[in-house]
Structure 1
Amino acid sequence: MIFARRAERKTRRESDWPRQEEKREEQKQIARQIVVAVDQLKAAMEQMKLAALSLNDISDSSRNSAAELMDHSEKTVEYIEKVAKKMRAIEEAAKEIAASSNDIHASSRQFSEQWLHSWNSLETLQKEIRTLRSHHETLLKQMNHLVHHSQRINQIISAIGEISQKTKILSLNANIEAARAGEHGRGFAVVAREIGMLASQTSEAVQQTQDILSLIQREIAATTDIVREETKQIDVEEKEMEAIMAFLHSLQRQLNDMTDLVSSSVQSASGQSDSVKEIAGLLEEIVQLSRENQRFVERVTADMNEQHESVGQILRINEALQKTAEELQQTIGRDWMRETISVDDAVVKNTIHKLSALLQSAPLEQMDEAMHRRVLDQFLSQNGEIEAVWSNRLDGTFVYSNPPAGLVNAKVRSWFQEASGGTVYVSDPYVSALTKHLCVTVSAPITDYNGQIVGVIGADLALSK
């Protein structure tokens, strides 16, 4: 009976063994998936942490910029208010200039009217001077004719005087002859005496007439000299009048130009006053907008402060999740990795050699995605022992990965940290985020022509039990 029961239990255990082995295999697969999920979660949290830190830096920079913008806005408002005050003063000055220009314009118009009246009076005076000069010239001509006529009269009187002298001599001769004739010549003597007396009177009249003509000629000569001097003076005054008229004509042109300038100045001052008034109004609007901007900046600053607090909460949540992920990895343990795993050192060394040759032959330092895709796809197809190949930038993001990367960012991976530090690295066995199977990663730095590290290249080697 006892032996039968033992045999039955043995048979039952032997029949349950395959199911237990299958269950253990399922548990290992689940554990691997959990490990991969935890790794992916840690990578995502690292990326989230980087994003949060970047957002925090941006938030700090935004707060600083907002503070500077607030300060600048306050200064802008202050400066604009000062400018507005100056513009109002300029507006008042422009109004005063416009008023003064109007007064000057009115005065210049009044002066122009007075000048026109004076010009007309001077033109009338100039015409009268020219008429007087013409009259003087006519008077000189008439006096010359009078002198000429008086000279003719003087000649005639001189002839009469000569005739009177001859008559007087003739009368004397007649008296002599009458005296000789005696009694018969007495009547003739009377006539001769009368003729002699008449001749004497005629001589006296001729002498008086000559004296009067001489006086008249002297007076005419003196008057002619005076008229000539007056004519010369009139000529001088006429020339001076012409000079005055020319000066006044030039003054009229300048006055007209000045009037036009004053008129233009009045219009400009009026336009300037309107423009300044418009500018002052615009400055008032700018002040209002600047004050609204200040309120917006205050609101943005408050939002930045809230965002800063939110980023702090995200970082604290990230730390808590990181700690939880590490505790989950420790809880799960790695007992399932204690099985016998075969790692071929020759394959690892050969892979390191191939990666080094690839880095020397291909221009991967350009970090061009298309070129990386072409080179890495060809490398993967030529090496069957490699199950995945990829490249990273120094910020942990992937340039290219075949198969597609199972991580958002590789910064938390030891193979990235070591290779980005300049070391060719071979990892311990771990579960690949790409294939969910055990693998070993070989990674190396990508350098440029100057030896500066610009990225990382990696490859996964599949492991067998």
Structure 2
Amino acid sequence: HAFNKMTVNLRHLVEQVRQSTSQVSRASTQLAQIADQAGDATGQIAAATQHQATDITQVAEASTYIASAIQQVADSTQSGTENAYQAEEFARVGVATVETSMERMQNIQAKVGLLGLKVEEMGQRSEQIGGIIETITAIASQTNLLALNAAIEAARAGEHGKGFAVVADEVRKLAEKSTTAAKEIGDLIKNIQQTATESVQAMAEGTAEVAEGTEQANQAGQVLLEILEAIRQVREQMGAIAETAQQIGHSSDQLVTSVDNASAVVEENSAATEEMSAQVQEVTASAQSLRTMAEALEGVVDQFKLTADQGEPEPKTPPSFSKTGGAVNLADEPGHAEPVLQPQSNGHVH
């Protein structure tokens, strides 16, 4: 009875060992599969991390280039702002110069106009002088005629009229000289009138040119004012651009710092991924070893069955485990047949 109970217990023990071995084998297989999947995932993570590291490196290079370009823009904008200040100052000087020129041209225009009036007045006075000369010429002509008549009358008087004849002749000579002088003065007055007329015309043309020059100077002043306003707007815009460029440069510096930090994190992740990959490989190797051991143990367990042969006992052999076959013999008891565990074709133990 005790032997049968021991046999049943041994059968249960072998069955439990076989089931446990099967579970270990399945678990080790699943663990190996999970480890393989983890290895694949780790490889993908490593590849993604490497790709991410490459992208971050490119972003870092681009960020550095952008920061350098923005700094160049800021420097150029600063230089442009300084040039705009200088151009604005030059434009202000130009506006002041044009305003001064306009004032002087307006003064010239006023003086030319006044001079024209004086020349016109001189022409009018010359005409009056011409009238007076004509009167003098007429008087001289009448005097000459009277002197001629007096000479005729003196000739008729004979000896008594000689003195009067001399006086009449002198009067005639003076009349002729007056006529000649009046003619010369008349010619001079005509020349003066012609010159005055030409001067008035030249003054009018000069006044028109001065007026045109004043208008052009006024237009130039307006253009300079517009240029001054445009320069002021450009200066303000360039100042705004410079300020924005500085802000963008500051943001770019922060971006570069963030990219550097991200790069450091990616490097840490890459190192951690490599370490995890090594650990997964170790787990995979351990799972493979465990599965091999479980399969070997399961093969050994499945080779045995429990029998109670009352005939001659089988040869005694030390307990051994083999994947290919054989038997494990239990120790003999005196006077009893040896219980033997022998392989069964269906892998079960009885």
With normalisation by structure 1, the TM-score equals: 0.54
Q: Distance in 2 between matches of 1:220 and 1:309?
A: 126
Q: Considering only aligned residues, what root-mean-square deviation do their CA atoms show, in Å?
A: 4.0
Q: 1:248 aligns with which of 210, 214, 224?
A: 224
Identical aligned pairs, as a percentage?
Answer: 22
Per-residue deviation, 1:287? 1.5
Report SS of the residue matched to 2:117: helix
- State whether residues 133 and 185 of structure 2, in contact with CA within 8 Å, keep that contact through their aligned partners in structure 1: yes
Deviation at 1:209, TM superposition (A): 1.5
Query: Distance in 1 between the 2:128 and 2:208 partners?
Result: 29
For the residues of structure 2 that align with 1:148 and 1:47, how far apart are their CA atoms?
141
Correspondence for 1:280 among 247, 252, 256: 256
CA distance in 2, matches of 1:278, 1:129: 61
Q: 1:198 to 1:69 in 2, by over 3 A?
A: same
1: CA distance, partners of 2:110 / 2:22: 120
Quickly say closer, same or farther: Cα 1:332–1:240, change in 2 above 3 A.
farther
Tell me the CA shift for residue 136 of structure 1.
1.8
The answer to whether the aligner puts 1:221 opposite 2:197 as a matched pair is yes
1:46, 1:138 → 2: CA distance? 131
Is residue 143 of structure 2 the alignment partner of residue 167 of structure 1?
Answer: yes
For 1:438, the equivalent position in structure 2 comes to: none
After superposition, residues 136-155 of structure 1 pair within 5 angstroms as 136-155=112-131
Give deviations 1:102-123, integer Å, cap 9, x for gaps.
2222122112212221221122
Q: 1:253 to 1:49 in 2, by over 3 A?
A: farther
- CA deviations 1:285-341 (Å, max 9, x no partner) are 11211111122212322332343245446645764786688679x5499xxxxxxxx
* Partner Cα separation in structure 1 for residue 306 and residue 114 of structure 2: 147
Aligned residues: 304
Alignment of 1:100 onto 2:76: yes
Report the Cα offset of residue 240 of structure 1.
4.0
1:75 Cα deviation after fit: 4.2
Deviations 1:365-385 (A, max 9, x none): xxxxxxxxxxxxxxxxxxxxx
Q: Provide the C-alpha distance between the structure 2 equivalents of 1:296 and 1:232, rounded to a whole number of angstroms.
A: 92
Aligned to 1:66: 42
Q: What secondary structure is seen at the aligned counterpart in 1 of 2:267?
A: helix
The question of whether the paired residues in 1 share the 8 Å contact of 2:94 and 2:224 is answered with: no
> What are structure 1's unaligned runs of at least 5 residues?
1-19, 21-26, 334-465
Q: Is 138-147 or 64-73 further displaced after alignment?
A: 64-73
Q: 2:277 aligns with which of 282, 291, 301?
A: 301
**Secondary structure of residue in 2 paired with 1:162:** helix
Query: 1:307 is matched by which residue type in structure 2?
Result: V
144-153 vs 67-76, which moves further? 67-76
2:200 aligned partner, one-letter code: T
Bigger relative CO (Cα 8 Å, ≥ 6 apart): 2
Normalized per residue, the structure richer in strand is 1
Deviates more, 1:98-107 or 1:87-96: 87-96
CA–CA separation in structure 1 for the residues paired with 2:31 and 2:139: 150
Quote the residue 1:156 is aligned against.
Answer: 132
Once residues 128 and 48 of structure 1 are traced to their aligned partners in structure 2, the CA distance between those partners, rounded to angstroms, is: 114
d(CA) in 1 for partners of 2:140 and 2:307? 184
Aligned residue runs from structure 1 range 403-442, under 5 A: none
Task: Please name the residue that 2:183 is paired with.
Answer: 207
Q: Which runs of 5+ in 2 are unaligned?
A: 309-350
Tell me by how many angstroms 1:100 deviates.
2.8
Distance 1:153 1:51, change over 3 A: farther
Partner of 1:109: 85
* Residue of 42, 60, 66 corresponding to 1:84: 60
**Closer, same or farther in 2 for the Cα pair 1:176/1:67, shift >3 Å?**
same
Amino acid at match of 2:253: K
Structure with a larger share of its residues in helix:
2
